[in-house]
């Protein structure tokens, strides 16, 4: 699977569409950092694919994201289960909750593969802080969202998060990307 | 490198360890102490077989992966001659790291410093300026890549640094019987492993995977709450705890009375298992709900049923989990998902999806474990731990299941410290004894108190 450098080849969108996607992604990041997960889930379509491929350190850069292996591969239903699990109070690794901060930048919005789809590609930096630990966990990633709908009712149908590092330095991936 | 004399502090710890074990206890410091690490890195990891790779990761001549072997990076390569070797990823000329990527296919490895070139059999095949610099006098045969020993069982490739280590077959000492539950029908890896670095001591992980059925209903309580388990808390404890005495290998098999044999395996997989298993294996494995095992010192084997959606039918996944120690209190975890070679793509995808939802860095169960293991490790590194000991008493009076058809020693129920006592006793033997040889391996009898019944 080669990296889909969509911005270079696909048609860019008008400024109004760009702004609406940008507002949407900032709002989404705000909800997830505020741990308003039920509202956050509503931003995803029912046929969601939410996936993080594994990167393997290879000479062939385009082959670094592995085509099959991943850190997570969720549907809307399993993503909702992850949220439910945290709500049980029995997810010890999120009790007390982590503090996360999503930095969403370098936004490129292009027309998707079908007329009603948009592709939003961002550089993502996520920090996770846990209690008295001195060190934060930091994840930098390439994030590609496929979105549906128009301003006001945009939804994410597909989110592919390719984390840069091949060896994660993280207790776990109990947070959302 | 095997002749290191333990420092006095380590000697003291070893004595404390053996004294405590004689009372069925373990000193807390063993879960995270730099002196312990200095000794165990040579005496355990320098003398044990360590898992390196699955042969389906390097199916073709020239394929290679770079893997850790007791702290030494090795290139695990299938040579042009189809022989699998584990070669130190260190150029013998000036010690530069030879191979920079971590997977690929190549006929040769060229050092980026002075350009010595090795083929995928480890032979030095080219030296720049041989005539001008060496006057043609350097003997290339004197400078091959250094090799570790390699041996395998049903696709699992192990490496060892100890030149006199017994064969893998002798080392496993009958544990192959239980490894087959994870390796039947013939398996291959679904893809490259998940890897992450975590502040957990390798022994915290290894001990748990030696068969800790006790933690499940508490650590993973959410599973009951969300309806993930096909068993109740009341039946969770039932099953077998089996260990290979003096070898450190063990397996816990949880069973739930009345469950359908091999539930959630598709019929063609069950048929393949019926064909491949011996009658003894079949009679045990058909009843096993979850099987969690350890190949000493740090390879975990896990087979578990999981439905992605609670209360709906699911699949069983088999996973290999390696706890590669970086130092005391810190490991790299490597996890591979095994899928049947002959199965459909849909089935293999479904198994993998179950696996990543349950285990690996984002896994719902793994997340809980990591939280506990980090804190056990952290507390064991505090001054308070110097004088603490933990009980290993559960199952001290357990009856041996004499009629159990598998090798090793079997006790019930599944929740039991017996396998942990065997893990720690084996570990202490490694730390204390002379290097093992084929003749005098680790068959030293356990102290009386560590035996069951």
Residue A140 maps to a domain: yes
The interface predicted TM-score of the complex, written ipTM, equals 0.93
Q: Examine the domain organization and report whether B142 and B188 are in the same domain.
A: no
If you ran DSSP here, which 8-state letter would residue A116 be given?
A: T
Q: Cβ of B196 and A56 within 8 Å?
A: no
A128 domain residue, yes or no: yes
Domain extent for A155: 11-163
Helix (H, G, I), strand (E, B) or coil at A35: coil
B38 in any annotated domain? no
Among the partner residues A73, A84, A174, nearest to B353 by beta-carbon distance: A73
Domain that holds residue B394: 172-450
Q: How far is B432 from chain A (nearest CA, A)?
A: 33
A48 found inside a domain: yes
Q: Are residues B307 and B186 in the same domain?
A: yes
CB spacing of A84 vs B226 below 8 angstroms? yes
Q: What is the per-residue pLDDT for B328? A: 97
For residues B148 and B177, membership in a common domain is answered with no
B307 domain-assigned: yes
State the CATH number of the domain containing residue B103: 2.102.10.10
Domain boundary among B156, B182, B211: B156
pTM, whole model, 2 decimals? 0.94
Residue A18 to chain B, least CA–CA distance (Å): 32
**Looking at residue B438, which CATH number applies to its domain?**
3.90.380.10
- Is A158 among the domain residues? yes
Are residue B56 and residue B202 in the same domain, yes or no?
A: no
Q: Do residues B135 and B195 both lie within one domain?
A: no
Residue contact B225–A91, C-beta within 8 A: no
Q: Which residues of B touch A80 (CB under 8 A)?
A: none
Closest-approach residue (CA) in chain B for A69: B191
Predicted local confidence at residue B257, as pLDDT: 83
| Domain containing residue A56: CATH number | 3.10.450.50
Question: What integer pLDDT is reported at residue B198 of this predicted model?
Answer: 96
Distance from the Cα of A124 to chain B's closest Cα (Å) equals 18
- Per-residue confidence (pLDDT) for residue B256, from 0 to 100: 84
In chain A, whose CA is at the least distance from the CA of B309? A78
State whether B216 and B263 are in the same domain.
yes
Model confidence at A56: pLDDT above 50: yes
- Residue A174 belongs to some domain of the structure: no
The answer on B177 and B273 residing in a single domain is yes
**Any domain includes A172:** no
CA closest to A88 among chain B residues: B222
Under 8 Å CB pairs connecting chains A and B tally to 111
Please tell me the predicted confidence (pLDDT) of residue A115.
Answer: 76
* B145-168 CB burial, b ≥16 within 10 A, e <16: beebbbbbbebbbbbbbbeebbeb
**Residue B265 located in a structural domain:** yes
Together in a domain, B117 and B197: no
pLDDT of residue B5: 64
In this structure, the answer to whether residues B107 and B254 fall within a common structural domain is no
Q: Which stretches of chain B score pLDDT less than 50? A: 1, 435-453
Question: Is residue B444 assigned to a domain?
Answer: yes
Asked if the Cβ–Cβ distance from A171 to B194 is below 8 Å, we say: no
**How many domains are there within chain A?**
1
Q: Which residue of A has its CA nearest to B370?
A: A171
Is residue B14 one of the residues assigned to a domain?
no
Q: Which of B222, B361, B370 sits opposite A85 (nearest CB)?
A: B222
Q: Is residue A150 part of a domain?
A: yes
Return the pLDDT at B452.
42
Instruction: Judge: A167–B190 Cβ closer than 8 Å, yes or no.
Output: no
Interface list for chain B against chain A, based on CB atoms closer than 8 Å: 101-104, 190-199, 219, 221-222, 225-226, 308-310, 332, 352-353, 356-357, 360-364, 366-368, 370-372, 374
Within this chain, do residues B280 and B400 fall inside the same structural domain, yes or no?
yes
In a domain, A146, yes or no: yes
Could you tell me if residue B165 is inside a domain? no
Check A69 against B362: CB less than 8 A apart. no
The whole-number average pLDDT for the span A168-177 is 95
CB contact (8 A) between residue A52 and residue B362: yes
CB pair distance less than 8 Å for B196 and A93: no
Q: What is the pLDDT of residue A4?
A: 54
Nearest to A56 among B103, B357, B372 (CB): B103
Percent of residues, chain A, with pLDDT higher than 70: 93
Q: Judge whether B42 lies within some domain.
A: no
Measure the CA–CA gap between B109 and B291, rounded to whole angstroms. Answer: 41
Choose the closest CB to B226 out of A66, A72, A85: A85
Residue B230 domain-assigned?
yes
Domain identity same for B129 and B228? no
**Looking at the partner chain, which of B191, B361, B366 has a beta carbon nearest the beta carbon of A168?**
B361
User: Do B184 and B257 share a domain, yes or no?
Assistant: yes
Q: What SS3 string covers chain B?
A: CCCCCCCHHHHHHHHHHHHHHHCCEEEHHHHCCHHHHHHHHHHCCCCCCEEEEEHHHCCCCCEEEEEEECCEEEEEEECCCCCEEEEECECCCCCCECCCCCEEECCEEECCCCCCEEECCCCEEECCCHHHHHCCCCCHHHCCCCEEEEEEECCEEEEECCCCCCCHHHHHCCCHHHHHHHHCCCEEECCCCEEEEECCCHHHHHHHHCCCCCCHHHHCHHHHHCCCCCCCCCCCCCEEEEECCCCCCEEEEEECCCCCCCCCCCHHHHHHHHHHCCHHHHHHHCCEEEEEEEECCCEEEEEEEECCCCCCCCEEEEEEEEEEEEECCEEEEEEEEEEECCCCHHHHHHHHHHHHHHCCCCCHHHHHHHHHHHHHHHHHCCHHHHHCEEECCCCCCCCECCCCCCCCEEECCCCCCHHHHHHHHHHHHHHHCCCCCCCCCCCCCCCHHHCCC
């Amino acid at each position: 699977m080669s990296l889909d450098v969509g911005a270079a080849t696909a048609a860019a969108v008008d400024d109004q569409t760009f702004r609406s996607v940008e507002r949407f992604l900032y709002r989404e990041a705000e909800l997830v950092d505020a741990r308003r997960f039920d509202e956050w889930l509503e931003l995803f379509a029912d046929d969601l694919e939410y996936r993080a491929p594994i990167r393997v350190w290879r000479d062939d850069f385009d082959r670094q994201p592995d085509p099959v292996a991943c850190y997570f591969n969720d549907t809307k239903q399993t993503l909702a289960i992850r949220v439910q699990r945290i709500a049980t109070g029995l997810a010890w690794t999120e009790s007390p909750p982590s503090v996360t901060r999503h930095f969403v930048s370098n936004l490129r919005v292009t027309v998707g593969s079908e007329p009603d789809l948009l592709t939003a590609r961002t550089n993502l930096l996520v920090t996770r802080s846990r209690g008295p630990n001195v060190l934060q966990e930091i994840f930098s990633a390439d994030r590609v969202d496929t979105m549906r709908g128009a301003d006001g009712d945009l939804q994410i149908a597909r989110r592919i998060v390719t984390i840069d590092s091949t060896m994660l330095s993280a207790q776990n991936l109990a947070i959302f990307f | 490198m095997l002749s290191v004399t333990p420092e006095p502090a380590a000697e003291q710890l070893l004595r404390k360890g053996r004294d405590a074990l004689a009372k069925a206890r373990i000193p807390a410091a063993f879960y995270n102490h730099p002196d312990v690490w200095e000794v165990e890195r040579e005496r355990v990891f320098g003398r044990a077989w360590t898992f390196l790779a699955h042969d389906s990761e390097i199916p073709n001549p020239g394929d290679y992966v770079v893997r850790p072997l007791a702290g030494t990076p090795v290139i695990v390569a299938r040579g042009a001659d189809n022989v699998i070797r584990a070669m130190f990823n260190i150029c013998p000329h000036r010690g530069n790291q030879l191979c920079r990527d971590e997977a690929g296919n190549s006929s040769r490895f060229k050092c980026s410093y002075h350009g010595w070139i090795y083929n995928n059999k480890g032979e030095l095949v080219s030296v720049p300026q041989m005539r001008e610099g060496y006057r043609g006098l350097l003997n290339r045969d004197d400078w091959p890549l250094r090799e570790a020993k390699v041996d395998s069982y049903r696709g699992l490739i192990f490496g060892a640094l100890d030149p006199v280590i017994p064969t893998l077959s002798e080392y496993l000492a009958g544990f192959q019987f239980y490894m087959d539950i994870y390796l039947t029908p013939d398996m291959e890896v679904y893809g490259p492993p998940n890897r992450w670095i975590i502040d957990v001591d390798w022994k915290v992980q290894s001990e748990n995977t030696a068969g800790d059925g006790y933690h499940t209903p508490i650590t993973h309580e959410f599973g009951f709450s969300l309806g993930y388990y096909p068993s109740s808390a009341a039946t969770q404890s039932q099953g077998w705890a089996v260990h290979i005495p003096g070898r450190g290998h063990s397996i816990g098999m949880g069973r739930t009375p009345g469950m359908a044999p091999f539930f959630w395996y598709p019929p063609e997989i069950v048929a393949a298992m019926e064909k491949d298993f011996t009658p003894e294996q079949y009679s045990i494995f058909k009843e096993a709900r979850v099987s969690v095992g350890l190949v000493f010192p740090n390879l975990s084997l896990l087979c578990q049923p999981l439905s992605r959606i609670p209360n709906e039918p699911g699949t069983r996944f088999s996973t290999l989990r390696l706890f590669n120690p970086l130092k005391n209190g810190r490991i790299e975890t490597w996890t591979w998902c095994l899928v049947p070679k002959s199965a459909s793509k849909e089935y293999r995808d479904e198994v993998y999806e179950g696996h990543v939802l349950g285990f690996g860095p984002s896994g719902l169960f793994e997340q809980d474990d990591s939280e506990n293991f980090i804190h056990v490790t952290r507390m064991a590194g505090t001054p308070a731990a110097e004088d603490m000991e933990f009980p290993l008493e559960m199952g001290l009076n357990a009856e041996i299941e004499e009629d159990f058809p598998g090798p090793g020693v079997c006790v019930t129920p599944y929740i039991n410290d017996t396998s942990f006592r065997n893990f720690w006793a084996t570990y202490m033997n490694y730390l204390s004894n002379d290097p093992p040889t084929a003749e005098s391996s680790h068959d030293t009898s356990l102290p009386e108190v560590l035996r069951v019944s």
